[in-house]
Structure 1
Amino acid sequence: MAQALAQLGMNSGLDPRNTQGTTQVANEDRPVWPEADNGKDYYVSRNGVKYAGTHLLIDLWGASRLDDIELVEEALRRSAIEGGATILHCHLHHFQPNGGISGVLVLAESHISIHSWPERGYAALDIFMCGDCDPYKAIPILKEAFSPATVTLAENKRGLVP
């Protein structure tokens, strides 16, 4: 693994599987937080914190219709639009024989991805939206589409400016 990472110009000592917490590495050739050339970086500034965007990790348990590719695409698209995002591309793959779906909706403001295991009634979704978009607006749409018994949620602020 170390050799493969070295070939990619990566330090195996920074492999996240080998560390706990957050590791910050400074490159002496450039500032840690360079400013955008045009003065517009689309970062979010809220409550004195500046960051790239909000990344939600959503688990749906006891969910239904996770093998319905048309419904999955519609739910992802509605989630993006409701959150204020701009859809650039959608790619979904329907697995057989269990009917699971994996895919991504690429947004101008980041992405929404899904991986489903209909045989277990489980789906894992990532919703990462930058700028003024609101990923939380997707949750009611996902609940309506898949009727999960349980929804678990974790939030990360990505690209926090030190």
Structure 2
Amino acid sequence: MQGLHLTADLHDCRCAPPWLTDATLLGERCLRAVGAAGLQAVGQLFHNFPATAEGPGGVTATVLLAESHLCVHTWPELRGATLDVYVCNFGADHSAQAHALLDALLALFEPGRVERHEISRGDAAMVRA
């Protein structure tokens, strides 16, 4: 097993509010971003959370990939989101596609501040060209 796990914590997002509150809208954009990055969606779940006293409910958008997964969680009351992109690199290196997917979502949310992390997982010797 070998892969690349990218995460990003987004703060002060300047995007239009529906990107943080509309599961269907965000899910459709996630699927388009997955395809544009050259990855293959094989399943999906998009969920709206109910509003609270603090404001509108957030969203979880999960796309199961042939290469692994994408998961987005939003907190509209904080104008924040977290992104999680993991690609397994068994058979081919999908690292460039993972970075392209993360970059597309960063552009969508327009964060004022981002905390990014990159984790190499498993044994790099297992990647097959």
Task: Provide TM-score, normalisation by structure 2.
Answer: 0.76
Q: Distance in 1 between matches of 2:109 and 2:124?
A: 36
Residue 125 (structure 1) aligned to one of 46, 61, 83: 83
Root mean square deviation, CA, Å: 1.9
Does the 8 A contact of 1:86 with 1:109 survive in 2?
A: yes
Residue 112 (structure 1) aligned to one of 66, 70, 74: 70
Instruction: Report the CA distance between 1:75 and its aligned residue.
Output: 2.8
Letter paired with 1:67: T
Q: Distance in 2 between matches of 1:136 and 1:93?
A: 24
2:7 matches 1:57: yes
Between the two structures, name the one with larger relative contact order (CA 8 Å, sep ≥ 6): 2
For 2:102, the equivalent position in structure 1 comes to: 139
Q: Distance in 2 between matches of 1:74 and 1:60?
A: 20
Q: Distance in 1 between matches of 2:60 and 2:102?
A: 18
- Tell me the alpha carbon deviations over residues 92-121 of structure 1, each in whole angstroms, 9 at most, x when there is no partner: 110011220113100010000111101101
* Change in CA separation of 1:89 and 1:160 when aligned onto 2, cut-off 3 Å: same
For 1:46, the equivalent position in structure 2 comes to: none
SS in structure 1 at match of 2:50: coil
2:47 matches 1:93: yes
Higher fraction of helix: 2
Q: Distance in 2 between matches of 1:106 and 1:72?
A: 15
For 1:103, the equivalent position in structure 2 comes to: 61
How many residues align? The count is: 112
Residue 153 (structure 1) aligned to one of 113, 116, 121: 116
Task: Provide TM-score, normalisation by structure 1.
Answer: 0.62
Q: Distance in 1 between matches of 2:33 and 2:5?
A: 14
For 2:33, the equivalent position in structure 1 comes to: 79
2:20 matches 1:66: yes
Q: Distance in 2 between matches of 1:105 and 1:85?
A: 11
Q: Which runs of 5+ in 1 are unaligned?
A: 1-50
Instruction: Report the CA distance between 1:78 and its aligned residue.
Output: 2.6
Bigger Rg over Cα: 1
Question: Alignment identity in percent?
Answer: 32
SS in structure 2 at match of 1:93: strand
